[in-house]
Amino acid sequence: MASRARLEPALRLLPVSLVLGYLVAVAYEPLPTAYPLAIAVYPHEAVIILAPLGAAAAAWKAGRWRRSGWRSRPWRRAVGAPAVWDITFTAAVQIVAYELIVVGVTTAAGRSVPFEPQVLVIAAGTITGWVAIGFAVGWWVRAELALPAVLVCSYLALVYPPAMEPLWLRHLTGTLGQCCAPGSALDRGAVRAMVLVPVAAFIAALLAVWASRRPAAGVAAVAVVVLAAVVAIPMVDRLAAEPTAPREGTVRCTGTPEVCVWPEQSDDLDRIATIAEGVASRWSALGLQAPVRLSPRSSDLTSDRVARLQVWEHPTRYEIVQAMASGVVPQPSCPDGVGDIYVSQLVAVAWLTIEGGVEPAVVEARTDPALRADLDRLRAADHDAQVGWLGAVERADPCAADLIPVPS
């Protein structure tokens, strides 16, 4: 058994998978959040190493079957049995490596190891899909070509789509990027697509292997890939750069105005509520309509008096006030990109942040230099003009309206 284990390509590559996967996983700064989903996604980048190495190991193993003359023997067993075993074993080794990397990365970052089934299923599916493809290539192509081909091609297929248009293309690769902010959850359609694609790859790879005995299986393999694309693309083509949807779930609330935060932010709730009360008082004194409720949960945004509050853990005073201002000024996600009104929205947020009690120098230092002239003109305008301009920005279509000139 020990000698057999030493001959397994996946086991021989395991140390390389662990080291390279860990280095890639920690290459990015961890998100400043205790949100379990974000913590689970943080080490997910290791997949871009584990999947190609798994594909190469599978191609290596398939090459052994090829060199043994298995395909030419009239008494051979059905090729599906050894193919399924080798794909499953190789994928299992890489999935175990992934879990070890997750434990190592989260422990080193001082976080508890999260259990997020969706993230694990996406990682396992992506690895298994590429392992199956690697085996199919190794079954048909000589090892001298198969190994470098699947190693390079699988790596490029995982790395390049996130930098390409259309944006939804990245959501078919099984990579999650730097998702997810505290107010985001994985989009269900994206999760389904990221599972469907590797399942289709697995089936197509087995059909491609069987095609050595039944040529019609090759046609079926192509049909499976086409069908998977037809089904998966509509699941993700409405998404932007991240495969996310608004997060729902329990929030914890206190204060007047009522301030709500996600459970992992409970330690900051009293401080945020105190600052929010002061900001609301300042806005009301200026004749501005202050929200009566602030919540990060989309389902709570049922009226004009309820505003979104989206902050990370342990926010600064500036971050709290700026988040309140951003919640008051409409800034929804626009499918066709932001319009000229976006400039007016940014100026409005900066002005409301100053009027909420943050030092002007602090706000200006964090404001795009191109907007500072408009911010200065707005601050110099009379009060009625300021309030009227803000009302026009709030009433405008946040995705289609033109720039609203700042009053002089």
pLDDT, tens digit, for every residue of 216-258?
788 899 999 999 999 999 999 988 888 999 998 899 999 989 9
Mean pLDDT of 360-383: 91
The predicted structure's pLDDT at residue 227: 95
Instruction: Give the residue ranges of DSSP H helices in 356-401.
Output: 360-365, 369-380, 383-395
The predicted structure's pLDDT at residue 407: 85
Give the C-alpha separation, 286 to 240, whole Å.
38
Mean pLDDT of 81-98: 91
Q: pTM for the whole thing?
A: 0.85
The predicted structure's pLDDT at residue 242: 87
Q: Which residue, 114, 141, 134, is CA-closest to 37?
A: 114
pLDDT at 388 > cutoff 80: yes
Mean pLDDT of 61-68: 76
Under 8 Å between Cβ of 159 and 137: no
CB atoms within 10 A of CB 20: 19
Tokens 């085996």 belong to: 135
Mean pLDDT of 42-56: 95
The predicted structure's pLDDT at residue 294: 94
Tens of pLDDT along 194-212?
999 999 999 999 898 887 6
Phi/psi of residue 155, each to 5°? Answer: -65, -45
In the chain, what are the helix, strand and coil shares in percent, each to the nearest 5?
65, 5, 30
The predicted structure's pLDDT at residue 2: 45
Give the C-alpha separation, 128 to 23, whole Å.
21
Q: pLDDT class for 3, splitting at 50, 70, 90?
A: very low
The predicted structure's pLDDT at residue 302: 82
Give the C-alpha separation, 93 to 118, whole Å.
19
Is the backbone peptide bond immediately before 334 cis, with ω within 30 degrees of 0? no
Under 8 Å between Cβ of 36 and 313: no
pLDDT at 370 > cutoff 70: yes
Mean pLDDT of 274-287: 93
Mean pLDDT of 312-317: 90
Give the C-alpha separation, 203 to 309, whole Å.
45
Mean pLDDT of 316-338: 82
The predicted structure's pLDDT at residue 75: 45
Tens of pLDDT along 112-169?
888 899 999 999 999 999 999 999 999 888 888 989 999 999 999 999 988 888 888 9
Mean pLDDT of 302-321: 89
